[in-house]
C-alpha cells in the first residue's frame, strides 16, 4: 500500500510539473535554469544593407499559429561590449525575462510583445553612433514589414543601457513619430533642450545609479532629467528611477553601479515581487511614484500609444538636431563608453 501511495504521489508531482507554464521563471539574481531557455527563444535575423552597413539582430515573437493579435514592439539596445559577438546583446543582460509567460502577460491589451534586440557592428569597430542611425531605422522598418500582420504600429517602444541608452535618445530625436514611449538607462549622452524639444510628446522613463562610475549621475543624468521635465509636454507621465546602490532583485550587489539596467530587466521589482532594493522613482512633477506589483516598467510602457502610420524612413531624420545637441560632457562620456569595452 505504501509503495502504491508513493508511486501515486510521484505521478501527481510529475503531472504538476508538466502543467506549469513552459517558462514560468523565478525572477531572481542569477542566470538560473530557466534563463538560458528564455534566451534560446530569440531568433536570428538581418536587416537590409544601408549606407554600407548590415545590422543583425535577435528577436522574440509572441505570435502563435493562426494568431491575428496585434502586439507591441519593444526595441532593446545593448551597451558597449555587448555587441562584440552575435547573441551577446541578449545573453549579457536579463532582457530575456521579458519573454517569460509572467512578464509577457503584463503587456496591456495584448498579453505579449515582440522583443527586438539589434546589434551594433563592434567587431568592425563600429558602435551605436550617428552613422548607424539610418541603418538601424531601416532594419526596424524591415522587421516591421516582415511582421506587419502582428505588430501594433501605435505601440513601438525603445530602450537601452549606457551606449544603448544614448542611442535610444538619438533614435527618438531622429524619428519621434515612431515611438510611443522610451526608456533610456544610464544614457551616455545629454542632449540639448533643442534636441529634447523634438520628443516633447513622448513619455520617458529614465533610470540611473547614483554611484555610476561611468555615466555620472550628477553631471550627466540628473541634468538630462531636468531638461526632460522642462521640455516634455506631459511631465506627469515621465519617470525617473534612481538607485542609491545597484543591486540584483534579491538585494545582492552587482559588480558595478553602472549596471542599473538589471532593475529594468526585472520590471522594477524585487525577486519577492516587492520594491526593488534602494530605488526611488519620481515623476516629472517631482512627485514620488509608488510602484505596485505587477505594474512596473512593462505596464507603464504598454499604456502609451502613438499616431505612427507605418511610413518608412528615407533618411537619417533629425540628425542635425542630434549633432547640435551634444552636452558639455559628451566627449568624456564617449571616452568612458570606449573604456567599457575593455571590461
Assess contact for 198 and 232: CB atoms under 8 A: no
Mean pLDDT of 311-335: 68
Assess contact for 249 and 27: CB atoms under 8 A: yes
Mean pLDDT of 85-101: 93
Q: Grade residue 173 by pLDDT with cuts at 50, 70 and 90.
A: very high
Residue 205: enclosing H or E segment and its boundaries? Answer: strand 205-209
Q: What percent of the chain has pLDDT over 90?
A: 75
Taking 60 as the threshold, does the pLDDT of residue 4 lie above it?
no
User: According to the model, what pLDDT value does residue 323 have?
Assistant: 62
Mean pLDDT of 29-46: 80
User: According to the model, what pLDDT value does residue 248 have?
Assistant: 82
User: What kind of architecture, by CATH, is found in domain 25-340?
Assistant: 3-Layer(aba) Sandwich (3.40)
Look at residues 171, 188, 183 and name the one whose alpha carbon lies nearest to residue 238. Answer: 183
User: According to the model, what pLDDT value does residue 110 have?
Assistant: 95
C-alpha angle 118/21/69, rounded to 5°?
Answer: 55
Mean pLDDT of 225-239: 98
User: According to the model, what pLDDT value does residue 35 have?
Assistant: 84
Taking 70 as the threshold, does the pLDDT of residue 79 lie above it?
yes
What 3-state class would DSSP assign to 109? Answer: coil
The model's pLDDT over 198-224, given as tens digits with 9 standing for 90+, comes to 999 999 999 999 999 999 999 999 999
The x, y and z cell numbers of residue 337, run together, are 563608453
User: According to the model, what pLDDT value does residue 5 have?
Assistant: 40
pTM for this entry:
0.87
Cβ count within 10 A of residue 221: 27
Taking the chain, what is the end-to-end CA distance rounded to the nearest angstrom?
61
Mean pLDDT of 298-324: 90
Q: Grade residue 32 by pLDDT with cuts at 50, 70 and 90.
A: low
Q: Grade residue 33 by pLDDT with cuts at 50, 70 and 90.
A: low
Residue keyed to cell 549606407: 51
The residues, ordered by sequence, that sit 6+ positions from 316 with a Cβ below 8 Å of its Cβ are: 130, 133, 134, 137, 174
Mean pLDDT of 59-86: 96
Taking the domains of the chain in order of start, what are their residue ranges?
25-340
The model's pLDDT over 113-146, given as tens digits with 9 standing for 90+, comes to 999 999 999 999 999 999 999 999 999 999 999 9
Q: Grade residue 31 by pLDDT with cuts at 50, 70 and 90.
A: very low
Amino acid at each position: 500500500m505504501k509503495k502504491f501511495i508513493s508511486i501515486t504521489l510521484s505521478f501527481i508531482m510529475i503531472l504538476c510539473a508538466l502543467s506549469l507554464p513552459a517558462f514560468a521563471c523565478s525572477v531572481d539574481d542569477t542566470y538560473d535554469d530557466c534563463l538560458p531557455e528564455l534566451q534560446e527563444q530569440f531568433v536570428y535575423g538581418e536587416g537590409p544593407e544601408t549606407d554600407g552597413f548590415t545590422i543583425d539582430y535577435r528577436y522574440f515573437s509572441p505570435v502563435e499559429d493562426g494568431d491575428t493579435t496585434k502586439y507591441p514592439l519593444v526595441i532593446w539596445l545593448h551597451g558597449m561590449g555587448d555587441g562584440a559577438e552575435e547573441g551577446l546583446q541578449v545573453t549579457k543582460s536579463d532582457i530575456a525575462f521579458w519573454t517569460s509567460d509572467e512578464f509577457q502577460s503584463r503587456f496591456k491589451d495584448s498579453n505579449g510583445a515582440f522583443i527586438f534586440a539589434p546589434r551594433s557592428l563592434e567587431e568592425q569597430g563600429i558602435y551605436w553612433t550617428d552613422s548607424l542611425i539610418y541603418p538601424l531605422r531601416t532594419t526596424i522598418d524591415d522587421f516591421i514589414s516582415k511582421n506587419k500582420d502582428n505588430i501594433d504600429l501605435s505601440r513601438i517602444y525603445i530602450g537601452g543601457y549606457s551606449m544603448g541608452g544614448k542611442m535610444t535618445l538619438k533614435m527618438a530625436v531622429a524619428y519621434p513619430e515612431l515611438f510611443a514611449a522610451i526608456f533610456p538607462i544610464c544614457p551616455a549622452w545629454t542632449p540639448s533642450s533643442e534636441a529634447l524639444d523634438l520628443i516633447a510628446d513622448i513619455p520617458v522613463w529614465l533610470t540611473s545609479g547614483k554611484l555610476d562610475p561611468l555615466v555620472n549621475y550628477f553631471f550627466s543624468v540628473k541634468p538630462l532629467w531636468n531638461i526632460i521635465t522642462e521640455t516634455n509636454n506631459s511631465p506627469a507621465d515621465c519617470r525617473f528611477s534612481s538607485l542609491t546602490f545597484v543591486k540584483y532583485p534579491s538585494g545582492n550587489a552587482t559588480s558595478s553601479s553602472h549596471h542599473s539596467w538589471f532593475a529594468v530587466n526585472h520590471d522594477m521589482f524585487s525577486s519577492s515581487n516587492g520594491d526593488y532594493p534602494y530605488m526611488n522613482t519620481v515623476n516629472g512633477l517631482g512627485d514620488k511614484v509608488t510602484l505596485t506589483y505587477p505594474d512596473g516598467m512593462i505596464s507603464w510602457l504598454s499604456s502609451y500609444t502613438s499616431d505612427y502610420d507605418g511610413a518608412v524612413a528615407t533618411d537619417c531624420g533629425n540628425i542635425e538636431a542630434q549633432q547640435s545637441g551634444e552636452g558639455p560632457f559628451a566627449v568624456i562620456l564617449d571616452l568612458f563608453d570606449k573604456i567599457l569595452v575593455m571590461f
